[in-house]
Structure 1
Amino acid sequence: MLAFIRYTVPEARSGEFVASATAILERFAAQDGYRGGQLGRSADEPHLWALVSTWDGAGFYRRALSAARMEMYPLMTLMLNEPSAFEVVVSSP
């Protein structure tokens, strides 16, 4: 399963945001079912960021969100309110 959490981050907060997002990825990495993650910034709109992770299933992802809530809390005002969990339908090597 794929997880995309998108954020709108003012340039002045980008350094702080990267540090916090790194802490979230580190917390995720310690959770069961975690396969990997990345932090990306839009090439076209630099205020848009995405925290992307892959999981063995939605249950693992949801438990990890709970485990990472303290790391995630400071960034919640920057999050876009949209679904974040996606089932993989087609995969390519």
Structure 2
Amino acid sequence: MLGGMLALIRYSVPGAQAEEFTGQARTIMRTFAAQDGYRGGHIGRSVDEPELWALVSEWEGAGFYRRALSAARMDMYPLMTLMINEPSAFEIVPGDPEG
């Protein structure tokens, strides 16, 4: 898969909200997976800071990701107060890192 982009949305989730967060995060990822241009994704939790979570997804391009955000906005709304406000879209740099 050449080109494309990665999306990384980070959240700061108090321990008492972790179960509720993971349920809502799964809903968001299902919505993403149903969108055009979606390549795959994961929900992750920091091994060093357990309150830090991430939704990571890969897309054919930024336009696909932006449209998916629009489609998922109602799913994402309950988690907005936990979201870390930072850029989330990253261009994939083509090429073999070893060569």
Q: Tell me, yes or no, whether TM beats 0.5.
A: yes
The RMSD of aligned alpha carbons is 1.2
Please say which structure displays the higher CA radius of gyration.
2
Number of residue pairs matched by the alignment: 93
Structure 1 gaps of 5+ residues are none
CA distance in 2, matches of 1:64, 1:89: 22
Q: How does 1:13-28 map to 2 (within 5 A)?
A: 13-28=17-32
Q: Percent same amino acid among aligned pairs?
A: 72
Runs of 4+ in structure 1 displaced over 6 angstroms? none
CA distance in 1, matches of 2:77, 2:42: 19
Structure 1 partner of 2:56: 52
TM-score (ref. length: structure 2): 0.91
- Return the letter of the residue paired with 2:57: S
Matched, 1:38 2:55: no
Structure 1 partner of 2:67: 63
Structure 2 gaps of 5+ residues are none
Q: Deviations over 1:46-91 (max 9, x none)?
A: 0000000000000000000000001000000000000000001145
